[in-house]
């Protein structure tokens, strides 16, 4: 009888262990199988420089194979032919929700959604497309203390001097911000290479993560014209504290150029 009990217990143990096999197999699968992310960028990209600093905008399609993945950051390693390197990071996403076209195929109505990027879920059964705005974190880090000083100076003048608008515009603080922004302009003629870097909560592999583009001397001249607009925009912000003030419109120049991808 004892042998029979022992045998039954052993059988129960084997059955219990077997019940865990599918779960164990799933754990092993997820530990071993990496999502493979393929990046498909639009061929035309937008290069700019505004009060937000150097900007690189393009539409990206992202596809995941083998397993789902969560992307919580996209960075661009931007390298000029002379070796100078800058890091840009996604700062904004725009998704097209719907659009209406006429019989000629022209877009008549577009519904879009802008969002601050936090994370993207990539599934294996669908393609994720977003218009991504890239900016330079180092630029924003350098601007933050300067803008804090300017705002503190402005608030002090606003409390103590009726000519606070005029004096703010003439202040060293606003001059320092403007000059620092101008010094942050680093676009120059020549060929640039790009490398996309995807941050993920998962262990991933990335394909088609390299590309290149070229800026001409006329492109740089067009972008440099924005340096004069920096002063106008900042002064408009200060002058907005005057009633019935109609500031001049702000128009930024942009450069559209072709992106060539390679593996």
Instruction: State residue 124 phi and psi, 5-degree precision.
Output: -85, -10
Residues 44 and 174 in one domain: yes
**Closest C-alpha to 250, from 232, 225, 224, 227:** 232
Write out pLDDT tens, residues 51-93: 999 999 999 999 999 999 999 999 999 999 999 999 999 999 9
Does a structural domain hold residue 149? no
Look up the domain containing 19 and give its range. 1-32
Does a structural domain hold residue 52? yes
Residues 44 and 18 in one domain: no
Write out pLDDT tens, residues 215-251: 999 999 999 999 999 999 999 999 988 887 777 789 9
**Closest C-alpha to 222, from 250, 249, 248, 252:** 252
pLDDT at 24: 53
Per-residue confidence band for 1, with pLDDT thresholds at 50, 70 and 90: very low
Helices of type H across the chain: 2-32, 137-160, 164-169, 172-183, 217-224, 226-239
Segment 159-184 shows an average pLDDT of 96
pLDDT at 93: 94
pLDDT at 96: 74
Contact between 38 and 62 under an 8 Å Cβ cutoff? The reply is yes
Residues 110 and 122 in one domain: yes
Contact between 190 and 167 under an 8 Å Cβ cutoff? The reply is no
Residues 119 and 7 in one domain: no
Assigned token pair, 23: 């779960």
Has residue 152 got a pLDDT over 90?
A: yes
Residues 4 and 106 in one domain: no
Report which of residues 126 and 217 the model is more confident about.
217
pLDDT at 77: 97
Report which of residues 7 and 151 the model is more confident about.
151
Domain count, the chain: 2
What CA–CA distance (Å, rounded) separates 31 from 62? 22
Has residue 146 got a pLDDT over 70?
A: yes
Q: How far, in whole angstroms, is CA 84 from its chain's centroid?
A: 20
**Closest C-alpha to 195, from 75, 77, 59:** 77
Instruction: Share the mean pLDDT of the chain.
Output: 87
Instruction: State residue 104 phi and psi, 5-degree precision.
Output: -85, -5
Report which of residues 3 and 110 the model is more confident about.
110
pLDDT at 114: 84
How many other β-carbons are positioned within 10 Å of the β-carbon of residue 106?
8
Residues 213 and 245 in one domain: yes
Has residue 263 got a pLDDT over 50?
A: yes
Residues 173 and 204 in one domain: yes
Q: How far, in whole angstroms, is CA 124 from its chain's centroid?
A: 23
Does a structural domain hold residue 150? no
- Residues 6 or more apart whose CB falls under 8 angstroms from that of 33 comprise 66, 67
């Amino acid at each position: 009888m004892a042998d029979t009990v022992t045998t039954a217990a052993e059988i129960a143990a084997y059955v219990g262990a077997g019940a865990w096999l599918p779960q164990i197999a799933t754990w092993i699968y997820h530990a071993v199988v990496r999502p493979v992310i393929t990046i498909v960028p639009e061929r035309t990209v937008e290069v700019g420089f505004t009060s937000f600093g150097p900007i690189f905008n393009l539409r990206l399609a992202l596809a995941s194979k083998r397993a789902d993945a969560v992307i919580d950051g996209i960075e661009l390693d931007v390298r000029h032919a002379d070796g100078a390197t800058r890091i840009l990071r996604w700062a904004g996403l725009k998704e097209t929700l719907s659009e209406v076209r006429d019989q000629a195929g022209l877009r008549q109505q577009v519904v879009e959604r802008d969002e601050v990027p936090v994370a993207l879920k990539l599934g294996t059964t669908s393609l994720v497309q977003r218009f991504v705005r890239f900016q330079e974190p180092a630029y924003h880090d350098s601007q933050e203390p300067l803008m804090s000083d300017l705002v503190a100076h402005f608030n002090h003048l606003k409390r103590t001097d009726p000519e606070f608008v005029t004096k703010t515009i003439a202040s060293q603080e606003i001059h320092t911000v403007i000059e620092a922004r101008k010094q942050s302009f680093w676009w120059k003629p020549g060929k640039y290479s790009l490398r996309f870097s995807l941050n993920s909560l998962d262990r991933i592999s990335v394909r088609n993560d390299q590309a290149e583009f070229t800026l001409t001397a006329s492109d740089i001249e067009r972008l440099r014209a924005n340096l004069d607009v920096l002063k106008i925009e900042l002064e408009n912000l200060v002058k907005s504290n005057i009633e019935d003030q109609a500031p001049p419109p702000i128009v930024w120049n942009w450069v559209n150029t072709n992106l060539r991808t390679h593996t």
